[in-house]
Amino acid sequence: MSVPAPGRGTGASGLPRRQALAALLLGGAGTLAACTGLPTSGEVSGSNVVHGPDEQLVQSAAGPADGAAPEEIVIGFLRACAAGFFDDFATARAFLTDDAAASWQPTETVGVYDGSTAPVVVLADDAVDVTVDLIGDVDPAGVFTAAAEANHRCRYGLVADDAGQWRIAELPAGMLLSDGDLTTEFASASLYFLTPDHERLVPELRWLPRHELPRRLIEALLGGPSTWLAAGVATAVPEAAAVGDDGVVVEAGTAAVDLTGLGTLDQAQAGLLVAQIRATLVGATSDGGILVQDVAVRADGNELGPAASLPAVDTDPGAVVGMCTGAVVQGTASTRTTLVAAQTLGADTATHPTLGADGTVYVLSRSSLLRVPAGASAADVILSVGDADTEADSHELLAPIADRHGWVWTATAGTLLAVDGRGRRAALVAPWLEDREVLAFDLAAESARIVVRHRADGSADRVSVAAIVRDGDAPTGLGDPLELPAAVVARTDAVVWYDPVSVAVLAAATDGQDAEASGVTRIPVGGALTTPITSPAATALTADRVTGTLQLTDADGQVWQRSGSAWRVGATDVADLAYPLA
C-alpha cells in the first residue's frame, strides 16, 4: 500500500509540512507525549476540558481534521489514545477505518515510552512509522514488563476513504503512552495476596486506569497473581469469583464490594478474602486523596464479615544490627544494645551479622557461618565452606539473611543456598540461576520474595526478582524470574529491598561525575519509573524493606541516616549493617 503525500505544502511557519511536524514533536517540553498538558503555542481555540466521573480534571483530544496528512492523522491518533479513558476511545477510533475501529483493543497492550525523548514520526512508502524509546508494556491486568530493547518502531498503514480523507487501516495491537501520560491516566497500586501459611500479605504492583479504579483493582485481584509471583503466594479468592452487578461503590471512604461466584466459604477463608480486598483498596489514592478507608464485602447478598487480623509487616528504624569492635550490636545510636559480646564469638574475624525472628544471631567468620541462640554464651559453627584458615577464599560466604521461618540464606562460590539452625541445607531448585554466579541478594520483609544480582561468564549482570517456593516452612526453590533491567547499572553489587514493592541500588557514576560521588536509585518491582534519591557518597547500603529507611556507609566507615530530606552521620564505629526481617 502506497501512501502519497498530496498537498504537503508549507505550514504557517513557512517550513515544509514534514519539518513543521518534526518541530512540533521535538519542541522541548511540548512533546507529543504531553497531550494532556497546556499548549504553549498555536491559535486560541475552544476548551476541550471535561470532568471525569471521579472529578479528575482531564482534557479531551480533537478528532481528525479535514485534509490532514498521514503523519498528522497518526499524531492525532496517538494524542487521542492518551485521552481515551474518558471517552471510551471514541475520538481515537475516529482516526481509524471502520474495520480497524471495530477490531482495535486499545488496552490489549500499552507500550510505555520515555517522554523525555520525542517520538520520531516518518512517512514511509506505504505507511507512517513511529519510533520511540520503549520502557516496557502494561497488559490488561496492569502487569508491567520491562522492554528487552529500548528502540521500538510501530507501523501504521493508512488508506484514503471515499471522501479522500486519510484513515488508519492497519495498526499495532494496543496503544502507545509516554511515561508522563501513564502516570496521569493510570495509577500504580498494590494488589495483596497471601503467603502460603496465610500469615502475611504479599503486595504486587499493578498499573490500572484511574477511571473506575476501585472496580479495576478488585477485578485484577480476583484475576490472581502474576506468573512470576504465583509460585510463592496463595489467595483466598475462589476460582469462579467475579464482581457482581453492584460493582464497587465508594461512599464516605467506605468501599462496598459486591461479589458473586464465591460458593461456600468458611469463616477463615472469608476473613482472609476480606483482608486481601481491604489491603488492596485501603490507601489506594486518586488525585492525591485517600480513596478508600474501609471496606464492606458482600457475596450473593450476604455480608462476609470482618477481615482476618494479619500481623503488620513493620520494622523499627532502630532495629538495624551491625558489628562494633568485635561485638554484634543493635542500633547505631549511643543507646545501642549489645546482642552478642566479642568474647562469645571467640574470634576477631566476625562480620555481617543477621538476626533471626527468635532472637538467634548469625554471623560470618571468614568461610564459616556461626550461630548464637539468644542468651547463649558460645557460638556454634553450622556451615563451613573452603578453608576456614584462609583469609581470602573463593568459597567465601555472602552476607547471611535469616528469614522469618528460621532459615538462613547466603551464597558460596556463586551458588545460592539456605540452611536451618542445625546447618542442614535446603535443596533449592532455580533453573534460571544454573551456570550463573550470585553476586548479591536480599529477601523481602515477608520472606516470600527474593531479589538477586547474578552473572555468567562473558555476559552482563542481571537483576531478577522471584518468588520463594516452600514446602511448609522449608524453601525448595525459586519461581520464574522477573527482570529488573533498571537495577543492573550500579556502583556496587549490592541490591536491597527498599520497601514492599521496590528495590534500591547505589547509582553508577555518570560521565564526568566524580568516581566517589553517589546516589541511590529506587526501582519499583513491576513498575515503569525509577526514582533517584540524592545521598552522600557511599560504598554500602541497607534498607528496612518496609518504610524506605536507608542506612549508608561511606569509605571512611561513617554511617549516614536520612532524617526528612537531610542526611546526618549516625555512627562512626558500626560496620556491616543489616535490618532483620519483620
Is 29 in the same domain as 127? Answer: yes
Does some domain include residue 464? yes
The reply to whether 184 falls in a domain is: no
pLDDT in tens, 212-268: 899 999 999 999 999 999 999 999 999 999 999 999 999 988 999 999 999 989 999
For residue 178, is it within any domain? no
Residues 204 and 286 in one domain: yes
Burial class (CB in 10 A: 0-12, 13-18, 19+), 392: exposed
DSSP H or E stretch at residue 186:
strand 186-194
Residues 150 and 206 in one domain: no
Residues 493 and 349 in one domain: yes
Indicate whether 505 and 572 sit together in one domain: yes
220 part of a folded domain? yes
* Domain assignment present for 272: yes
State the average pLDDT over residues 148-157.
Answer: 92
- Of 303, 330, 363, the one marking the end of a domain is 303
Same domain, 265 and 334: no
Same domain, 201 and 128: no
C-alpha cell at 334: 549511643
For 234, the domain range is 189-303
Residues 6+ apart with CB under 8 A from 245: 258
Sole residue written with cell 512470576: 228
Three-class SS of residue 336?
A: coil
Are 213 and 330 contained in the same domain? no
Tens-digit pLDDT profile for residues 171-188? 999 999 999 999 988 999
pLDDT digits (tens, 9 = 90+) for 465-493: 999 999 999 999 999 999 999 999 999 99
Residue 435, C-alpha cell as written in the block:
551456570
Q: Are residues 284 and 348 in the same domain?
A: no
Rg (CA), the chain: 27
The verdict on 33 and 164 lying in the same domain is yes
In a domain, 268, yes or no: yes
Band of the pLDDT at 457, cuts 50, 70, 90? confident
143 and 233 housed in the same domain: no
pLDDT for the residue 142: 94
Same domain, 232 and 203: yes
Asked, for residue 308, whether it belongs to a domain, the answer is no
**Domain end among 249, 281, 303:** 303
Final residue in a domain of this structure, among 233, 268, 303: 303
| Full 3-state SS string of 510-554 | CCCCCCCCCCEEEEECCCCCCEEECCCCCCEEEECCCCCCEEEEC
Instruction: For residue 434, give the CATH number of its domain.
Output: 2.120.10.30
Domain total of the chain: 3
Please indicate, yes or no, if residue 91 is contained in any of the structural domains.
yes
Q: Is 258 helix (H, G, I), strand (E, B) or coil?
A: strand
Gap between the terminal Cα atoms of the chain? 61
